[in-house]
Amino acid sequence: MPKRWILLIVFSFISALIVFILWAALSQQELTAYKPDSYGSYGLKALELLLNKSGLTTVESDILENDYEQLVIYVSNSKSTAQSRRRILEWVKSGGTVMELARFKPQLDLDTEPVILKQSKPIFDFNDPAAGLKYHPGGEMIYTGAVFDTSLIYRDEQVIVYLNQYEAGRVINWNDPDGITNIHLKKYPDNAVIFTLIAAKYADSGRIVFYNPNPFHEKKDLETGLQSNYWYAGTFIGLGIILLLWKLSSRFGRPHPLVLAKGRSSDEFVYSMAALFQQADSKAMVLDNLYRELMLAISKITNLPLDSDWNLMFERFTLIVGKNYDSRKIFVAVEIYHKNKGRKVKTPVFLELARKLDAYRKELNQWNP
């Protein structure tokens, strides 16, 4: 298998794993939120226990029975389908009572246009003054409607729990489900008492059904399909991004090995190093090194230490080589070096002096007395 395909498979697997971990983390709360059997922070187990202790029977079901004496509790959210809402309203028409726990905008609100309450954590009144209870909302923003005769929990000109008559049945809009969750009831247990009093009043048979419609039992329509298939759309978009990245990376083609020429001369290395030294403006360092190498060669011939006086060293060098070698040219080159030491040497002077120092060194290394 080509290496590119292996990298693509590994990249796809890692991407899918990251997406799955993010989805699991985000949906963990979603899976247990507002469930009567959930002990999580946003579950309703504490509320269910109080309802049962008050003599009410609670069950979960994904169907609506023809028992119109029971109270049906329906948790609506952004994934609720239009077909589920129509089925519930048809059941209400026949005389049933539904309480909608609206996580967002109420979907069974028939007569009012809700607005968002922007005040943070106000205290609401319960419509039974004799109970002496106050309701503390749990949501940061709550949809509310105008006050009317069937308001159950209200404050000034706003209500968050109210009842609407719908033909033979009734719809109770409870627009703050966060206020009856496990975590919120620890601080404000009166909220559970208020909920229990309202539920007991409208559950004529003493039976409460938490209705959770099964999406697999529903016949998909256009609106439902658009709402429920966003995961498929996200999957296709993710695959499209992966294929796009693969296509963009493939345009470069496969890498070809670099073939190095054999038998390259040392002159190429020298020229390359010289170019680097020239770019770094290291003329003084180059001349110092060449001068030292030349002095080492002279020191070996004269058997004098390298730090000896130059005039003494040159005098002895001249006596040793005699007429067999032109020592005067070395003296001139060294004098030019001493004259320009510590100064900024022009390039032509540098190149000529460096050439001479290196050439004389080579001559002395090959010289035999």
**Residue 126, phi-psi category: left (phi > 0), alpha (psi -120 to 50), beta (remainder):** beta
Distance CA 360, CA 366 (A): 10
Distance CA 209, CA 194 (A): 18
Distance CA 327, CA 306 (A): 18
Query: Is residue 73 within 8 Å of residue 216, measured between CB atoms?
Result: no
Distance CA 369, CA 357 (A): 20
- CATH code assigned to 33-218: 3.40.50
pLDDT at position 286 is 81
Long-range contacts: 347-356, Cβ < 8 Å, 24+?
A: 347/278, 347/283, 350/283, 350/286, 350/287, 353/287, 354/286, 354/287, 354/290, 356/329
- Phi, psi for 285 (deg, rounded to 5): -65, -40
pLDDT at position 303 is 86
Contacts (Cβ under 8 Å, ≥6 apart) of 255? none
| Ranges of each domain in the chain | 33-218, 266-366
Contacts (Cβ under 8 Å, ≥6 apart) of 341? 284, 287
Contacts (Cβ under 8 Å, ≥6 apart) of 52? 58
pLDDT at position 2 is 65
CB atoms within 10 A of CB 300: 12
The 8-class DSSP code of residue 124 comes to E
pLDDT at position 47 is 94
Query: Is residue 287 within 8 Å of residue 345, measured between CB atoms?
Result: yes
Each residue's pLDDT tens digit in the chain (369 positions)? Answer: 566 667 777 777 787 778 777 776 666 666 778 899 888 888 999 999 999 999 999 999 988 988 899 999 999 876 777 888 889 999 999 999 999 998 888 888 655 556 665 555 678 888 887 678 999 988 877 887 765 667 898 887 778 898 888 889 999 999 899 999 999 999 999 999 999 999 999 999 999 999 988 765 555 444 444 444 555 556 667 677 777 666 665 555 555 665 655 666 666 766 777 676 666 567 788 888 888 898 888 888 888 888 888 888 888 888 888 877 788 888 888 888 888 887 777 878 878 888 888 888 888 888 765
Amino acid at 261: A
Antiparallel, parallel or unpaired: β 142-146 and 158-166: antiparallel
Distance CA 198, CA 319 (A): 124
Query: Is residue 162 within 8 Å of residue 151, measured between CB atoms?
Result: yes
